[in-house]
Structure 1
Amino acid sequence: MVVINKTAAQTARLKITLKHLSPAIWRRVLVPHDINLPKLHDVIQIAMGWTNSHLHAFETRTKAKIIPKIKVSPKITIYQIPYEEEDSFGMFGAGPEILDERKYRLDDMMPEAKSKCVYTYDFGDNWEHEIVLEKLEPVEARLTRAEVLDGKNACPPDDCGSVPGYCDLVEILADPKHPEHANMREWMGHEKDETFDPAFHDIAAANKTLKKLKL
């Protein structure tokens, strides 16, 4: 029998889906609901398979109230680590509200089940991930390690040129007769018999790394 601790942070079940690709690349993970956003960024990087080599940001949108004959835009909030202290608007312009993610937690940004946000990694390749808080689960004690429950398909390599570049890469690597095949294998760092399987994701390896990440 599990004794529920009402004061312990609930466990959040998140589904993280890389947008604009088919078949979908996604992971389902467990984290404490009170995890801070920099740590959540670390979890996403490990769970998805990125290399944490670029800037990132979280974005939420609050639905605007409907006012007859008046167009009201949704409120956009950006959570990111400031990289130019003198520029309070970062790279996003003066429209959205910009908050320092180091001061916020998941339960601030996504307070309840079915909440959503967009996590963007690498502002050049602009990898957008939809994150859905699928469920909040009361627990006996706060979760101290994140865990990948399941997922599908391999993460694109960093710096491959966003969605179009990744689609080209998969096609080139699958065709030994393609004129760029040898160059792309070299760029990927493949050994003689090594191949790239876009359908493969090693959940066990991700969880092994997550065990080292203290939350």
Structure 2
Amino acid sequence: MDKLVAGAGVGPGSILEVRVELIDSVPGIWRQLEFRGAMALNQVHRVLQVAFGWEDVHLHRFTAGDPFAPLRPVDGEVPDVVQWLPGPECEEPADRPEEGCSLEQLLALGAGAAFYEYDFGDSWLHRLELVSRRPADKDTPPARLTDGARRGPLEDSGGFPGYEQIMDTLADPSHPDYAEHSAWVAEITGPDEPFDPAFLDIPAVNQALAKTF
């Protein structure tokens, strides 16, 4: 696993269709994305930030399995979770540089699935599942959003418990915290447009992705 290099053994012309869903989101918040299979994980991170509307102001990591699933002890000790981080943040024996692993390699390690956690405080956990693979042509972009549901949660909203509480408050103008929460949301999203948690602007996301690469 230490010798993985982005693109090694991977067809450069492969396109991966991947469904990415936020764990525990009800209603589901998900994206159907196309990636070049040889894309390194640091670039996948950038795509996911754009696709879910994150602001890239917190730590993140990739894992081949659920990072919170119980691990079976080995020789009486619970092994550390192998995780892919930005190179400068790799400090522990189980840390791997995300720049040296491709998306296709990570999905292969996870038997077609992998995980991306953003913001270790709010712990927004995304599950990536490989849907299909096909050859790419010269006009295929490095990444593209093809489908999805709902906008991403608000940054620093306290994970799903906090975000759901904010959404419940905004849905009830008579709630005592309505004015405070409305002002906070407007400060984050801007006062020009009403906040709609169900709206996903796919063309806008793809325009942003086109500027990313």
TM-score computed with the length of structure 1 as normaliser: 0.80
8 Å Cα contact 1:20/1:163 also seen in 2: yes
What is residue 28 of structure 1 aligned with on the other side?
32
The reply to whether residue 212 of structure 1 matches residue 207 of structure 2 is no
Q: Which runs of 5+ in 2 are unaligned?
A: 1-9, 67-74
What is residue 83 of structure 2 aligned with on the other side?
78
Measure how far apart 1:168 and its partner are.
Answer: 0.2
Corresponding residue to 2:117 among 117, 120, 132: 120
Choose between structure 1 and 2: higher helix proportion. 2
SS of structure 1 residue aligned to 2:204:
helix
What is residue 188 of structure 1 aligned with on the other side?
185
What is residue 108 of structure 2 aligned with on the other side?
111
Are the structure 2 counterparts of residues 55 and 113 from structure 1 closer, same or farther at C-alpha, using a change threshold of 3 Å? Answer: closer
Q: For the residues of structure 2 that align with 1:119 and 1:192, how far apart are their CA atoms?
A: 31
Are the structure 2 counterparts of residues 167 and 161 from structure 1 closer, same or farther at C-alpha, using a change threshold of 3 Å? Answer: same
8 Å Cα contact 1:57/1:79 also seen in 2: yes
Measure how far apart 1:82 and its partner are.
Answer: 4.4
Aligned length: 194
Aligned residues: CA RMSD: 2.8
What letter is aligned with 2:21? T
Q: For the residues of structure 2 that align with 1:140 and 1:170, how far apart are their CA atoms?
A: 42
Q: Deviation per CA, 1:48-95: give whole Å up to 9, x if none.
A: 111111110001139xxxxxxx9998984211114556xx22xxxx7x
Q: For the residues of structure 1 that align with 2:137 and 2:209, how far apart are their CA atoms?
A: 21
Measure how far apart 1:186 and its partner are.
Answer: 1.1
Structure with larger Rg: 1
The reply to whether residue 201 of structure 1 matches residue 200 of structure 2 is yes
User: Among the aligned pairs, what percent are the same residue?
Assistant: 31
Corresponding residue to 1:58 among 59, 62, 68: 62
What is residue 48 of structure 2 aligned with on the other side?
44
Are the structure 2 counterparts of residues 139 and 112 from structure 1 closer, same or farther at C-alpha, using a change threshold of 3 Å? Answer: farther
The reply to whether residue 134 of structure 1 matches residue 112 of structure 2 is no
TM-score computed with the length of structure 2 as normaliser: 0.81
Are the structure 2 counterparts of residues 71 and 201 from structure 1 closer, same or farther at C-alpha, using a change threshold of 3 Å? Answer: farther
8 Å Cα contact 1:61/1:75 also seen in 2: no
What letter is aligned with 1:155? G
Measure how far apart 1:132 and its partner are.
Answer: 0.4
